Amino acid sequence: MSGFRIYLSPPHTGALERDFVLRALDSGWVAPLGPEVDAFEAEAAARVQMPHGLALASGTAALHLALRVVGVEAGDAVLCSTFTFAATANAIRYCGGVPVFIDSDQHSWNMDPELLAEELERRAAAGALPRAVVCVDLYGQCADYAVIRPLCERYGVSLIEDAAEALGASLHGKPAGSFGDLAILSFNGNKILTTSGGGMLLGRRRDWVDRARYLATQAREPVAHYEHREVGYNYRLSNLLAAVGRAQLTRLEAFVERRRVIRSRYVEALSDLPGIGFMPELARARSTFWLTCLSVDPQRVALQPETLRLALQEQRIEARPVWKPMHLQPAFEGFGCVGGKVSEQLFQRGLCLPSGSSLSDAEQDEVIAIVRQTWRDHS
């Protein structure tokens, strides 16, 4: 339904973004390269403490290149969080890779490190280690990299962190986007920061990010005529959009802080309702709370998340079910999943509430009132 009054996570832009984009336009660099792109790459990489950044047309493009760079080819197994947006798994298929999904655990909703350990051990014994692990920082919370990263290192498997929802988050004081060999960010219109559409690949190794840059630029060889040894892509971010990204990046801390306040206001206003809970935050983690996710326990209240969603929609307020796990998606039928019951249950119980950094207290109070009333009507 279009024409919501209150959106789930709308773009938050203003005079600063306008100034930055006009300056870029006036500079004449209206192209997928230029000084704004270079500066945006450097600034974003510095923010997540990764040495190298590559600005791209989308987070999905960044995932695709990350998988290409670590060498995923047709038939290669890639272990992947099942509880995520389809882009994570789609990128594996673009390379002909074979996703093997890993379930979430209850206390982080992210990839269960024990299931990952079991699967890596099983595959090591069978001589069938995966080419990579793609681990998602769901709804803005880092996965448990204190366990996941050493595991990947022990088996020599590349770790790709999908931090599309988590720019500005941290774990043990280290920023989201810094935990893998490679990481990706998204600047889609509904993410923490937006360039309308865009993404970034971040990497530890210069040669890997350089290779991704080459592939993203039609795999053009550095000679005067158009020479191509490989099939490349047109994945670079426009210089104008990089300018928007730079403006947004200066506001990152404020945006994250606002989303965190929104989440704690929901928790305070709704936690007294039996059967209503929220996605937990790990100790030593600081989530962006990109979206505040509520969960409804059917054993304690006869209320479906879908009923809540429709009650909000009735008032032209947008709420959304949590991601449907990849192992339940027809597009990924036939690919394996290690575990699966936890994310299936989260999918049945979860609902994402309006969480944009531009949401006002008055708007949020309206959302809260509708959730409380609907709960009362069903208890």
Q: Binding residues for ligand PLP, per CB under 6 A? A: 58-60, 84-85, 87-88, 136, 162, 164-165, 186, 188, 199
Q: In the complex, what is the shortest distance from the CB of residue 61 to ligand PLP, in angstroms, rounded to a whole number?
A: 7
C-alpha–C-alpha distance, residues 105 and 110, integer Å: 6
C-alpha–C-alpha distance, residues 55 and 349, integer Å: 36
Q: Which CB, 335 or 375, lies closer to ligand PLP? A: 335
**Single-letter amino acid code for the residue at 116:** L
Q: Which CB, 193 or 243, lies closer to ligand PLP? A: 193
How many Å separate Cα 4 from the centre of its chain?
Answer: 24
Tokens of 206: 């210069």
Q: Which CB, 60 or 295, lies closer to ligand PLP? A: 60
Q: Which CB, 288 or 364, lies closer to ligand PLP? A: 288
Q: In the complex, what is the shortest distance from the CB of residue 50 to ligand PLP, in angstroms, rounded to a whole number?
A: 17
Give phi and psi for 97, each to the nearest 5.
-70, 160
Q: In the complex, what is the shortest distance from the CB of residue 318 to ligand PLP, in angstroms, rounded to a whole number?
A: 16
Cβ-closest position to ligand PLP: 59
Question: What burial class does residue 252 get, using C-beta atoms within 10 Å of its C-beta: 0-12 exposed, 13-18 middle, 19+ buried?
Answer: middle
Q: How many CA atoms lie within 13 A of 369 on its CB side?
A: 8
Q: In the complex, what is the shortest distance from the CB of residue 288 to ligand PLP, in angstroms, rounded to a whole number?
A: 12
Q: Which CB, 188 or 343, lies closer to ligand PLP? A: 188
Q: In the complex, what is the shortest distance from the CB of residue 65 to ligand PLP, in angstroms, rounded to a whole number?
A: 12
C-alpha–C-alpha distance, residues 327 and 378, integer Å: 31
Q: Which CB, 81 or 374, lies closer to ligand PLP? A: 81
What is the number of other CB atoms lying within 10 angstroms of the CB of residue 373?
11
Q: Which CB, 36 or 161, lies closer to ligand PLP? A: 161
C-alpha–C-alpha distance, residues 238 and 224, integer Å: 23
Cα separations in angstroms, 115 against 81, 120, 151, 159, 160: 11, 9, 11, 16, 17
How many Å separate Cα 37 from the centre of its chain?
Answer: 21
Q: In the complex, what is the shortest distance from the CB of residue 85 to ligand PLP, in angstroms, rounded to a whole number?
A: 4
Cα separations in angstroms, 18 against 15, 195, 236, 363: 5, 12, 22, 26
| 8 A C-beta contact, residue 242 and residue 36 | yes
Q: Which CB, 68 or 371, lies closer to ligand PLP? A: 68
Q: In the complex, what is the shortest distance from the CB of residue 184 to ligand PLP, in angstroms, rounded to a whole number?
A: 7
Q: In the complex, what is the shortest distance from the CB of residue 197 to ligand PLP, in angstroms, rounded to a whole number?
A: 6
